[in-house]
């Protein structure tokens, strides 16, 4: 990578500003999935081992009103980090000012603090997400060097990534950032072939650029999930009450023409009358969806087709579930695909974040994949071939 790495920095005695992505799912104040915290531990531990003073910060959720702040505090996250590190984490419940500055000044080498949710600065005035130059300059003034390990926000130009990078001498990538760029970048730019891409999720519009880019680069692009029904309709098939983006039919038609045999659509589907786990379901061919039913999962023949397409694959990138995996009755397609990829021998298997990452982790396959990305939106834009602002802002080697 042509950007500065954390290992290129001398951290001893330095105040190290460390942007992480601890935007973790919470329920009733409890973290339900700590994967993003766990993935950042190597970078944090390295800073502490090298004698740096770690100043850790992240966003959490979206802050639109003062009332949002109470439920989006990073305090529970700092406690979880303390538990995982086995070391005290000083939590500072503000994003700027004397309390924060004094806490940083009193840090000793090898100690760590976390300050409050960067998005608290969005009320009023979107200072964080609008990349306010004064805020970026202020946060930069708190440290000596900046390490960005938050791949999950690298596709956004915020004060806490691009803003700080613009106002500090050295900005480097942390280990997680490097890992994300290595696996996803190499998969798209220099894959060992055959290279198979699997794209699911509800909307074609979310993945237009990704499909176009991967049709140029992959040997096959397998389609699943709700977006398949927009492709069906573009082909003139009956889709019943299935989800469909009417304004994307011409585009779907173009992608079918461009993709030809490379673009693989489901050949059968699990359909039901309602978006409900208890709704009676049946398997039908793609050409036989009843007018009063909706497609909610891929069928067994499609899973066989996927298995045939994956035979001998050396690089596989998967983004988006192929059915409504949150409902057990319609999770079989995604679960079976997960099993297929987890047991694919001799292949580099990469999950591009988001719901497919949640599905793989919740189904117990985390250790079976070469890499599970921590960034849904960032992964998609990287797969699309876009330059990520948070990466572009890092210091060149």
* Of 79, 377, 385, 386, catalytic: 377
Q: Is the peptide bond before 124 cis (omega within 30 degrees of 0)?
A: yes
* Of 354, 375, 376, 390, catalytic: 354
Q: Is the peptide bond before 175 cis (omega within 30 degrees of 0)?
A: no
Separation between Cα atoms, residue 354 and residue 25, nearest integer Å? 12
* Radius of gyration of the chain, Cα coordinates, nearest whole angstrom: 23
- Catalytic site includes residue 64: no
- Catalytic site includes residue 377: yes
Query: Which pair of structure tokens corresponds to residue 388?
Result: 């990520």
Separation between Cα atoms, residue 374 and residue 130, nearest integer Å? 23
Separation between Cα atoms, residue 250 and residue 261, nearest integer Å? 19
- Catalytic site includes residue 354: yes
* Of 36, 53, 207, 220, catalytic: 36
Distance of CA 4 to the CA centre of its chain: 23
Report which of 28, 112, 13, 35 is spatially closest to residue 353, judged by C-alpha positions: 35
Q: What is the dihedral of CA 39, 45, 47, 50, to 10 degrees?
A: -150
* Of 170, 203, 253, 273, catalytic: 203
Separation between Cα atoms, residue 263 and residue 256, nearest integer Å? 7
Separation between Cα atoms, residue 200 and residue 188, nearest integer Å? 18
- Catalytic site includes residue 366: no
Query: Which pair of structure tokens corresponds to residue 387?
Result: 């330059």
The residues assigned a catalytic role are 36, 203, 354, 377
């Amino acid at each position: 990578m042509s950007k500065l790495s954390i290992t290129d920095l001398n951290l001893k005695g330095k105040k190290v500003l460390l942007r992480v992505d601890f935007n973790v799912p919470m329920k009733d104040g409890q973290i339900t999935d700590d994967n993003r915290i766990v993935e950042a531990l190597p970078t944090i531990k390295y800073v502490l081992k090298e004698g740096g003073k770690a100043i850790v910060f992240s966003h959490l959720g979206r802050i639109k009103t003062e009332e949002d702040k109470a439920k989006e505090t990073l305090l529970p996250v700092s406690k979880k980090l303390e538990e995982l590190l086995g070391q005290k984490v000083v939590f500072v419940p503000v994003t700027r000012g004397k309390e924060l500055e004094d806490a940083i000044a009193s840090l000793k080498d090898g100690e760590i603090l976390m300050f409050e949710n960067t998005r608290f600065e969005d009320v009023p005035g979107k200072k964080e997400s609008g990349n306010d130059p004064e805020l970026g300059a202020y946060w930069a003034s708190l440290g000596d060097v900046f390490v960005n390990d938050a791949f999950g926000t690298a596709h956004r130009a915020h004060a806490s990534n691009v803003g700080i990078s613009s106002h500090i001498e050295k900005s480097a990538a942390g280990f997680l950032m490097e890992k994300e760029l290595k696996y996803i970048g190499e998969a798209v730019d220099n894959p060992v072939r055959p290279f198979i891409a699997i794209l699911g999720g509800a909307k074609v519009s979310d993945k237009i650029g990704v499909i176009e880019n991967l049709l140029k680069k992959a040997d096959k692009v397998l389609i699943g999930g709700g977006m398949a029904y927009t492709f069906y309709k573009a082909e003139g098939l009956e889709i019943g009450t299935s989800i469909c983006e009417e304004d994307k039919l011409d585009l779907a038609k173009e992608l079918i023409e461009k993709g030809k045999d490379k673009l693989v659509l489901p050949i059968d589907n699990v359909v039901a009358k309602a978006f409900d786990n208890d709704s009676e379901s049946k398997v039908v061919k793609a050409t036989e969806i009843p007018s009063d039913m909706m497609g909610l999962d891929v069928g067994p023949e499609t899973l066989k087709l996927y298995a045939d397409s994956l035979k001998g694959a050396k690089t596989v990138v998967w983004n988006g579930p192929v059915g409504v995996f949150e409902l057990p009755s319609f999770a079989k397609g995604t679960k079976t695909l997960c099993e297929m990829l987890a047991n694919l021998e001799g292949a580099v298997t990469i999950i591009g974040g988001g719901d497919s990452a949640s599905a793989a982790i919740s189904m117990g396959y985390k250790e079976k994949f070469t890499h599970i990305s921590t960034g849904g939106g960032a992964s998609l834009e990287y797969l699309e071939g876009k330059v990520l602002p948070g990466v572009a802002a890092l210091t060149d080697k």
